[in-house]
Structure 1
Amino acid sequence: MSFGGPDNPYQPPYPPPPSTGPYIPPQPYPDPHLYPNPHPYPPYVPQPRPYVSPWGTLSGLRGAEWPPLRDLLRGGRPRIHGCVWAFLLVPCTWFVVPSLMVGYVFARSARVRAHRLFPPRAHRLHDDPQVTRLQKARALSAALMTLALLVVYGKPEDFGEAQEQYMMRLVVTPPLLLLSAPVVIAVLFRWASPHLRPHMGQRVRAAGKAALWYIGAVTAVPLIMVGIIMLERESATTADFPWPTVALMVPLVWLLFFLVFATGPAVRGGFNAAEVHAALPALLTGVLVWEFALISLAAGGLPPGPPLVQFLAFLCGPASVCAVAWWEIHRLRSRHGVRLRG
């Protein structure tokens, strides 16, 4: 009987599978009784919470959100450190520490409200690093040119006048912006397409509410101060504790903190002008720079120097700002499709 070749009676009725390469036997697992990779994830090991000192917390208050007073005192620990309690319980600090703690609570509350109305980094809807670099270069060149004119052609009293004009700009900028922004927004609203006006109107109302908060704070501060002065005059004749004066000091302190934290973002963002239209901050900048030039001309006259230098110094500053603003609008139109007419 033959068991091989074509006469094999036990030959299977199907052809053998085609050869696909050399035979590789299956590789056994390290442990044949276990499922492959029985622990795909490493065991959880709780990490200790890093300690953050109060000094490190204080150094990070500038750019981040301010933590509550309890978290600030804890300094990253689950509980308030014993040294902090010892410092708080020292008798010589009883008149200083409570004032600082109350001031911090007021400042944090006012800062949260101010940044909620005027976000610090919302002055541009589309961030363009090239435009930012050009604006910084223009501002630096303008400062250097002003200093060069004062050094070459200026007199000693011109330095004091230049400082007075700088302080005047800081004081005049918020009210001038509040007066100029509605005019520019009205022109832009009139110029926009009819189908975009309802949407712009909603954003104008939102920006107007934030501006009303600022106007109300600016108006309330002198009124409260007048009320405090009148109450002090009345309480001078009596020996009672001036509770009404203390009650008026509380909102006055909060409003002062609010104005401190809200003025910078509000002026940089044009009172949320970018929310109304992406090109509105550039337009407001071009309008304000000519208004400042006219105010400086009326208050202090032309810069020092020969007539040609005076004319160029007066004209080139606002013209360069307008050129940068117009280039910013051009980049908004070419890169982001922002058009003045919508």
Structure 2
Amino acid sequence: MPPAPDPAGPALFRDWPSLLGLLGRLPGGVLLLLSPVLLLLSPLMGLYGLARSARRVAWRLFLRDAGSVPVRDPDVARVKRLRTCAAFAASFADVVAFGTVQDISESLSDRWGALLATPWLLVVTAPVVFMLFVWGASPGRRRTMWAALRASLRQLGLFVGTLLLIVVLVVAWSVANPSRLGGSVATWLSFGFLAAVVWSVFLFLFASAAVARTGFGAAAVHPAAPPVLATFLVWAFEATAKLPSGPTPIAYALLIGGPATVTAIAWWEIHRLRTRFGVRLRGG
């Protein structure tokens, strides 16, 4: 059995309980009473099982080795969490005070869009940033950075593979066309294809969340790579962002305040890497 995710890791990737394990703790009489309800909920339980399986695979592929980063700074991590909570609270308060139901829907849609777009921006920008750090490093440090870079490129390839898996399954489904067989065989084949496609979609979503968090293992290439990438990404998204609801001063404060605070924290993190941990931009 693969090792379970770190309990101290991101909440999305902490180990999810097994439904069979939870149900096994209930007395037999209670299970018998609940059986009609469980039968009605069986499709949702099946989706949970697929999501749980895809989450574990995504964790093994993209996050299992994320704990082996060269530098950990609890103070920076704490400030980042506070900034994230403050940004969410400010956006929520703005929508509640000045927005409409449509604004709430657009805000949620924008967040999903950012989650799905972040890995593809990283696909384009991360190799460039990595190569700049490798080019600026000392000859003795470059060998280690090249090894870490190969691992990051492997993650990039695996991430692209999660999307290609969906395409391959959908194409295979259309080519095989199980409905031509008729009978129960066609039903079970269609059900199997559908379950595989749903599982692959879950895998792609979890992989997107993992890659957006680690930047394809950027910290292993150079400890300063994650804040540099974060700065670029936040301003890239802001260039296409819509002005928030509310009075103009508040709207512009929210529009500029988000990326400005991310940039400030990123450069403070780089300063701490240099002054407290001896990490040099040109040396790693």
Q: Which TM-score band (shorter chain)?
A: 0.7 to 0.9
Identify the residue that residue 215 of structure 1 maps to in structure 2.
Answer: 160
RCO comparison, higher one (Cα < 8 Å, 6+): 2
- Aligned partner of 1:195 among 132, 140, 156: 140
Contact 2:115 2:208 in 1 (8 A): no
Identify the residue that residue 224 of structure 1 maps to in structure 2.
Answer: 169
Identify the residue that residue 255 of structure 1 maps to in structure 2.
Answer: 200
Identify the residue that residue 230 of structure 2 maps to in structure 1.
Answer: 285
Q: Indicate whether 1:294 and 2:236 are aligned.
A: no
Contact 1:191 1:341 in 2 (8 A): yes
Deviation at 1:197, TM superposition (A): 1.9
CA distance in 2, matches of 1:111, 1:190: 36
Which range moved further: 145-154 or 186-195?
145-154
Please, which runs of 5 or more residues in structure 2 have no aligned partner? 1-11
CA distance in 1, matches of 2:98, 2:223: 41
Identify the residue that residue 322 of structure 1 maps to in structure 2.
Answer: 263
**RMSD across aligned positions (CA):** 4.1
Contact 1:149 1:305 in 2 (8 A): no
Aligned residue-pair number: 267
Identify the residue that residue 113 of structure 1 maps to in structure 2.
Answer: 57
1:117 counterpart letter in structure 2: L
Which range moved further: 265-274 or 111-120?
111-120
Q: TM-score, normalised by structure 1?
A: 0.62
Q: Which portions of structure 1, spanning 4 or more consecutive aligned residues, are displaced by more than 6 angstroms? A: 71-75, 90-97, 99-103
2:154 counterpart letter in structure 1: K
CA distance in 2, matches of 1:164, 1:82: 43
String of CA shifts for 1:116-160, please: whole Å, max 9, x gaps. 222266395433221122212222333343345445655664444
Q: Indicate whether 1:183 and 2:134 are aligned.
A: no
CA distance in 2, matches of 1:117, 1:62: 12
More helix by share: 2
Q: Indicate whether 1:334 and 2:275 are aligned.
A: yes
Cα distance, 1:259–1:150 mapped onto 2, change above 3 Å = closer
Cα distance, 1:63–1:240 mapped onto 2, change above 3 Å = closer
Contact 1:114 1:261 in 2 (8 A): yes
1:171 counterpart letter in structure 2: L
Cα distance, 1:191–1:305 mapped onto 2, change above 3 Å = farther
Q: Indicate whether 1:145 and 2:90 are aligned.
A: yes
1:208 counterpart letter in structure 2: L
Cα distance, 1:198–1:146 mapped onto 2, change above 3 Å = same
CA distance in 2, matches of 1:330, 1:256: 39
Aligned pairs (5 A) from 1:158-177: 158-177=103-122
2:210 counterpart letter in structure 1: P
Q: TM-score, normalised by structure 2?
A: 0.73
Deviation at 1:325, TM superposition (A): 0.6
Cα distance, 1:226–1:146 mapped onto 2, change above 3 Å = same
CA distance in 2, matches of 1:254, 1:148: 35
1:119 counterpart letter in structure 2: L
SS in 2 for 1:137: helix
CA distance in 1, matches of 2:82, 2:53: 36
Identify the residue that residue 129 of structure 1 maps to in structure 2.
Answer: 74
Cα distance, 1:247–1:150 mapped onto 2, change above 3 Å = closer
Please, which runs of 5 or more residues in structure 1 have no aligned partner? 1-60, 76-80
SS in 1 for 2:67: coil
- Aligned partner of 2:215 among 270, 280, 288: 270
Contact 1:211 1:271 in 2 (8 A): yes
Cα distance, 1:246–1:165 mapped onto 2, change above 3 Å = closer
SS in 1 for 2:239: helix
